[in-house]
Amino acid sequence: MAQLGSEQRPLAVAIVGSGPAGFYAAEALLKSELAVKVSLFERLPAPYGLVRSGVAPDHPKLKQAIKVYARIAESDDFHFLGNVTIGRDVLVEELQATHHAVVFACGAQTDRRLGIPGEDLPGSHTATEFVGWYNGHPDYRARRFDLSCETAVIIGQGNVAADVSRILAKSVDELRHTDIAQHALEVLAASKIRDIYVIGRRGPAQAKFTSKELKEFGELQDCAPVVDAEELALNPESEAELADKRSAGNKKVYELFVAYSKRAASGKARRCHFSFLKSPTALLGRERVARIVLEKNRLAGAAFSQAAHGSGESIELETGLVFRSIGYQGVPIAGVPFDAGRGVFPTVDGRITDEGAVIPGLYAAGWIKRGPTGIIGTNRADSRATIAALLQDLAALDGGADKGGTAAVCQLLQQRGVRYVGFPDWKRIDQSEIERGRPKAKPREKYTSTREMLAVLDA
Ligand code: NAP
């Protein structure tokens, strides 16, 4: 029998998830010296995961990564299978039976919870819902956001919180020619929000924004950043953190806060307040959110491991709209061990483990492996590392039997009446979105449901 990875017996690898981690895993496999066939599965008919439905519509440069992914997809050894849910349409054990290895790159699809009273009151939302809604993700198109109050509160000070706040802060003219979903543009056009509070549980030296994202708040058409200079006082540990060269990014962020705190009041219609050392302890309201209770915190611990501790002193803020933007977490897939505490698949060097023991043939890459941190490019090195481990395991992956790969899964899908979408199909949907956007001078008008996307293929 020919060697696994030779032209006669290519290595068949299934990848689950078509975001950055999935495409970079495919790239690493296709660039290896072996003959490899990749089947890349995606739950939606549209590929690209968070690059399509997470990256903010007013950050088109970040979406340039799609060009790289589309080139990867042109390879004859690559097959995209969209509109297929692993664990439902095809089981993990069926992927194992048809491929030599399975790489999970399915990201972190849900949000962490605050665990406070009132968290689920109407008017309190996760960042995921809002981001998915304005980006036209089919799962969130039907969400309703009531922007008729004057004050919105965002909990968390990471880049997702920056995206959510900026979309609320921007004028419609600043968003009109982006690929924002039309339904969101209409609701944002009627927004009455005037004050946006972005609340961090720790101090200004620990905010997780990148300076590029924070700087944008100083350049908005109709919203001014506001920081209370008193809140910028640093304890010695935070001073030590900012003096350390590892904190160059945090230092730039802190300097921006200082600059914002010195700005004279602007005549702009909206204000975005960055506030620190406060944790929500309850959302109050009878039928919907009316107020948020914030406990003031102090920091304790050594530099770089300072944690927020409640002081017992609380303030209340009137608000009808709260977004929790405190980080994402992964969700389980039947047939794969899951670390519920961390919201990831347990791994050692990208190999999935069960109670510490490696499960042969199962791998993970991206957020489902390391948790929801880093930018798009971070996933390239992460996926390469996982694929390096997979290729080291080549001998162990060869069970001797031939694997049917993409063709075998397609046969299963056809038997089950599952309509899968290939990459040429996606390109037709893509082209149709671009054409829909043209009259509005938008890069595209996204289809926001699977039904609409499939209808393009039937037309
Ligand atoms: P993140 O950067 O981890 O920020 C989460 C924020 O929530 C932190 O401020 C964190 O504070 C806070 N938090 C966590 N638990 C909390 C709690 N129980 N109560 C109050 N606050 C809490 O996560 P993210 O904003 O979701 O972003 C995820 C990743 O995507 C990041 O690496 C981010 O840079 C990246 N991203 C990048 C871009 C871009 O490049 N433009 C855009 C969006 C996202 P602590 O620091 O105290 O934990």
- For residues 400 and 412, what is the distance between their CA atoms, to the nearest angstrom? 22
120-130 per-position pLDDT tens digit: 999 999 999 99
Residue with tokens 């700087």: 215
Q: Is beta strand 11-16 parallel, antiparallel or unpaired with respect to 36-41?
A: parallel
Mean residue pLDDT of the chain comes to 97
pLDDT score at 145: 98
323-336 per-position pLDDT tens digit: 999 999 999 999 99
Which residue of 119, 157, 294 sits with most ligand 1 atoms within 8 Å of its CB, as the best mutation to test the pocket? 157
Which residue of 129, 198, 208, 294 sits with most ligand 1 atoms within 8 Å of its CB, as the best mutation to test the pocket? 208
Is the distance from the beta carbon of residue 110 to the nearest atom of ligand 1 less than 6 Å? no
Which residue of 55, 114, 160 sits with most ligand 1 atoms within 8 Å of its CB, as the best mutation to test the pocket? 160
Higher-pLDDT residue of 264 and 420 is 420
Question: For residue 85, how far is the Cα from the chain centroid?
Answer: 19
pLDDT score at 1: 80
Is the distance from the beta carbon of residue 259 to the nearest atom of ligand 1 less than 6 Å? no
CA nearest neighbour of 118 among 309, 311, 280, 297: 280
Share of the chain above pLDDT 90, in %: 97
Atom of ligand 1 nearest to the CA of 374: 32
Q: Establish how many alpha carbons lie within 13 A of residue 374's alpha carbon, considering only the half-sphere containing its beta carbon.
A: 19
Locate all alpha helices (DSSP H) within 7-104, ordered by sequence. Answer: 20-30, 49-53, 65-73, 92-98
pLDDT value at 399 more than 90 = no
Q: What is the pTM of this model?
A: 0.96
pLDDT value at 400 more than 80 = no
> pLDDT confidence of 162, banded at 50, 70, 90?
very high
Q: What CA dihedral angle connects 275, 276, 280 and 283, to 10 degrees? A: -10
Atom of ligand 1 nearest to the CA of 212: 41
Q: What mean pLDDT do residues 168-173 have?
A: 97
pLDDT value at 265 more than 90 = no
Q: How many C-beta neighbours within 10 Å does residue 438 have? A: 11
pLDDT score at 11: 97
- List, in order, residues 6 or more apart from 154 with CB less than 8 Å away: 127, 161, 164, 165, 196, 197, 198, 199, 322, 323, 325
**Residue 375 C-alpha to ligand 1 middle, in angstroms?**
12
pLDDT score at 401: 80
pLDDT value at 114 more than 80 = yes
355-369 per-position pLDDT tens digit: 999 999 999 999 999
Q: What mean pLDDT do residues 227-240 have?
A: 98
Asked whether the CA dihedral 386, 63, 327, 278 is positive or negative, the reply is: positive
pLDDT value at 420 more than 80 = yes
pLDDT score at 60: 96
Q: What mean pLDDT do residues 207-236 have?
A: 98
Q: How many C-beta neighbours within 10 Å does residue 340 have? A: 9
**Residue 372 C-alpha to ligand 1 middle, in angstroms?**
8
- List, in order, residues 6 or more apart from 8 with CB less than 8 Å away: 2
Question: Tokens for 376?
Answer: 């798009």
CA nearest neighbour of 181 among 142, 124, 230: 142
